[in-house]
């Protein structure tokens, strides 16, 4: 029997009452679990990572980078605004099902305008979500306020209203930058019926046509539900070849929180979503190769004192789906090893070394024009869109919620803040959903 080894201590939440309680992250049988106990509701032991060696190495890398390149406390890269709690669907997979009891349905325009003041001219992604934000009659005006503040409104939506070309045109005319609809499958309505409660495949095709006619940029959320739609991911990734306006695909792991269907058996850990991509594309021949690609982006961001959430990693992907168009894993394994060795003796030299290798790698993939556009011409676009035509961003996203909530990771590394409580409070999105959406919060040991 494998020995249970503690990895580190943190604080978490009781999944029932959300009381703040001590927790220990442990390795057991090659996987990672969180052990915690609520005085009232007993013990919990959720699975945190399928592969302990990746979890441990990622934690080691984050700690090493943070030591030499600490986060900048004033940086805000993106934020999320819950525009409304109303919705025109009752999705069995919805994680927002318990918000109605604890939050005003709609923030007034005057308050939105006031809360935008701290990020005037910041040029960040401002996600509008809900509920379903298109149910707000004043959504065009909200979009206008966000865009006029110097930021980029991105509509996270079930897209039911976006097959209406005139309506979408109005949103674009008020400053909408991109849309981020959910795509659970490409053409299979049986999956939409199971995950969303109704067929939506045909409606999604109309949405794509409208977005292209209007020149809107596109980001897709693929909610991965174990045993339901994992075989659909390859078709979703292939959409990046057909739609050059699709600059990012987000693989969002299903979480069983406030949901009207399914169970914890349908959940994915972060590293399990990595496996989905390895199986769905020819870009990586193994999980290890994908992990190297993830580390390239982690290090590149850290050298600018920016970090992805520990549970939300991003990799640059070739639209061709061919391995030879990605980063050479053997070459970059050596670069990363050399960088870490230099970091121990000369951090400045290590930084110069990696950035030189990284810059040359990007230039070899056609990044010369995007770099000129952004750094020299200073074109006004969202940072993520400065990529050559042959590439897009693939993001893996696993939210923290009371079951797997890790206070240290959430507070140290989340660059994605909730707009609702005010950005000056620097409340992360997961922290807001886990703690702020309750009328009363019980606090355990300090």
State the Cα–Cα distance between residues 253 and 222, nearest whole angstrom: 8
Residue 90: its pLDDT value, please? 84
For 169, the 3-state DSSP assignment is helix
What does DSSP assign to residue 150?
A: T
Is pLDDT of 161 > 60?
Answer: yes
Residues 6+ apart with CB under 8 A from 350: 68, 339, 340, 342, 343
Strand, helix or coil at 228? coil
Instruction: Classify burial at 345, counting beta carbons within 10 Å of its beta carbon; exposed 0-12, middle 13-18, buried 19 or more.
Output: exposed
pLDDT at 401: 87
Tell me: pLDDT of 101 over 50: no
- Which pLDDT score is estimated for 298? 95
Residue 99 has pLDDT above 70, yes or no: no
User: Residue 320's pLDDT is what?
Assistant: 96
Please provide the average confidence, as pLDDT, over all residues in the chain.
91
Backbone angles phi, psi at 215, to 5 degrees: 70, 25
Q: What is the pLDDT of residues 265-307, one digit of tens each?
A: 999 999 999 999 999 999 999 999 999 999 999 999 999 988 8
Q: In the predicted model, what is the mean pLDDT of residues 138-167? A: 96
Give the per-residue pLDDT at 262: 83
Among candidate residues 388, 233, 398, the one with its CA nearest the CA of residue 317: 388
Q: How confident is the model at residue 263 (pLDDT cuts 50, 70, 90)?
A: confident
Cα radius of gyration (the chain): 21
Q: How confident is the model at residue 93 (pLDDT cuts 50, 70, 90)?
A: confident
pLDDT tens for 416-426 read 888 988 888 88
Say whether pLDDT at 333 is over 50: yes
C-alpha–C-alpha distance, residues 43 and 20, integer Å: 13
Indicate the pLDDT class of residue 144, thresholds 50, 70 and 90. Answer: very high
Task: Determine the average pLDDT of the residues in 96-108.
Answer: 62
Query: What pLDDT is attached to residue 73?
Result: 66
pTM of the full predicted structure?
0.93
What phi, psi does 420 have (nearest 5°)? Answer: -60, -45
For residue 94, what pLDDT is reported? Answer: 79
Structural domains of the chain in order of their starting residue, each with its CATH number: 5-45+401-436 (no CATH), 78-397 (3.20.20.70)
Instruction: Tell me how far apart the alpha carbons of residues 25 and 10 are, in angstroms, rounded to a whole number.
Output: 8
Between residues 259 and 162, the one the model is more confident about: 162
Any long-range contacts for 193-198 (C-beta under 8 Å, 24+ apart)? 194/92, 194/228, 195/91, 195/92, 195/93, 195/223, 195/225, 195/228, 195/229, 196/89, 196/91, 196/92, 196/93, 196/158, 197/89, 197/90, 197/91, 197/92, 198/89
- What's the pLDDT at 441? 41
Instruction: Give the Å distances, CA to CA, from 355 to 16, 59, 360.
Output: 46, 22, 8
Judged against a pLDDT cut of 70, whether residue 438 lies above it is answered with no
DSSP 70: P
Q: What pLDDT score does 256 carry?
A: 81
- Cα atoms in the 13 Å half-sphere on the side-chain side of 373: 15
Pairing of strands 391-397, 312-318: antiparallel
Q: What is the pLDDT of residues 41-63, one digit of tens each?
A: 999 999 999 999 999 999 999 99
Better pLDDT: 353 or 105: 353
What is the model's pLDDT at position 439?
42
CB atoms within 10 A of CB 153: 25
What is the spatial distance between Cα 221 and Cα 254, in angstroms, rounded to a whole number? 11
CA distances from 25 to 33, 47, 51, 406 (A): 6, 10, 13, 9
pLDDT at 429 (0 to 100): 84
Residue 124 — pLDDT band, cuts 50, 70, 90?
A: very high
Residue 437 has pLDDT above 70, yes or no: no
The CA distance from 435 to 325, in Å, is: 43
Give the CA diameter of the chain.
Answer: 63
Give yes or no for residue 18 having a pLDDT over 70: yes
């Amino acid at each position: 029997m494998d020995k249970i080894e503690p990895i580190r201590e943190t604080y978490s939440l009781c999944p029932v009452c959300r009381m703040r309680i001590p927790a220990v992250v442990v390795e057991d049988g090659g996987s990672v679990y969180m052990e915690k106990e609520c005085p009232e509701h007993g013990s919990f032991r959720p699975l945190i990572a399928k592969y302990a060696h990746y979890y441990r190495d990622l934690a080691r890398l984050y700690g090493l980078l943070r030591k030499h390149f600490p986060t900048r406390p004033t940086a805000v890269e993106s934020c999320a605004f819950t525009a409304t709690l109303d919705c025109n669907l009752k999705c069995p997979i919805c994680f927002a099902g318990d918000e109605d009891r604890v939050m005003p349905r709609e923030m007034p325009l005057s308050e939105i305008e006031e809360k935008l003041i701290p990020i005037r001219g910041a040029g960040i992604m401002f996600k509008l979500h809900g509920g379903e934000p298109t149910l707000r009659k004043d959504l065009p005006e909200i979009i206008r306020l966000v865009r006029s503040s110097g930021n980029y409104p991105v509509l996270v939506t079930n897209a039911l209203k976006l097959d209406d070309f005139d309506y979408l045109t109005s949103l674009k005319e008020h400053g909408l930058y991109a849309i981020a609809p959910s795509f659970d499958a490409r053409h299979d309505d049986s999956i939409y019926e199971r995950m969303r409660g109704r067929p939506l495949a045909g409606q999604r095709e109309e949405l794509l046509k409208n977005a292209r006619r209007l020149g809107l940029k596109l980001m897709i959320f693929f909610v991965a539900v174990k045993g339901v739609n994992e075989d659909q991911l390859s078709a979703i990734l292939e959409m990046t070849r057909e739609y050059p306006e699709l600059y990012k695909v987000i693989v969002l792991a299903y979480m069983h929180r406030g949901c009207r269907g399914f169970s914890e058996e349908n959940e994915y850990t972060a590293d399990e979503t990595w496996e989905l991509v390895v199986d769905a594309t020819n870009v990586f021949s193994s999980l290890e190769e994908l992990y190297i690609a993830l580390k390239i982006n982690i290090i590149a961001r850290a050298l600018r004192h920016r970090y992805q959430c520990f549970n939300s990693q991003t990799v640059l992907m070739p639209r061709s789906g061919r391995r030879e168009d990605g980063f050479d894993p053997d070459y970059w394994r050596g670069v990363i090893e050399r960088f870490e060795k230099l970091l121990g003796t000369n951090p400045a030299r290590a930084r110069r070394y990696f950035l030189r290798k990284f810059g040359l790698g990007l230039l070899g993939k056609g990044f010369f024009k995007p770099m000129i556009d952004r750094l020299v011409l200073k074109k006004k676009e969202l940072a993520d869109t400065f990529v050559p035509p042959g590439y897009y961003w693939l993001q893996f996203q696993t939210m923290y919620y009371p079951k797997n909530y890790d206070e240290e990771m959430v507070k140290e590394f989340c660059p994605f803040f909730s707009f609702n409580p005010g950005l000056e409070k620097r409340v992360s999105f997961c922290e807001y959903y886990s703690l702020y959406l309750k009328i009363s919060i019980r606090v355990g040991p300090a």
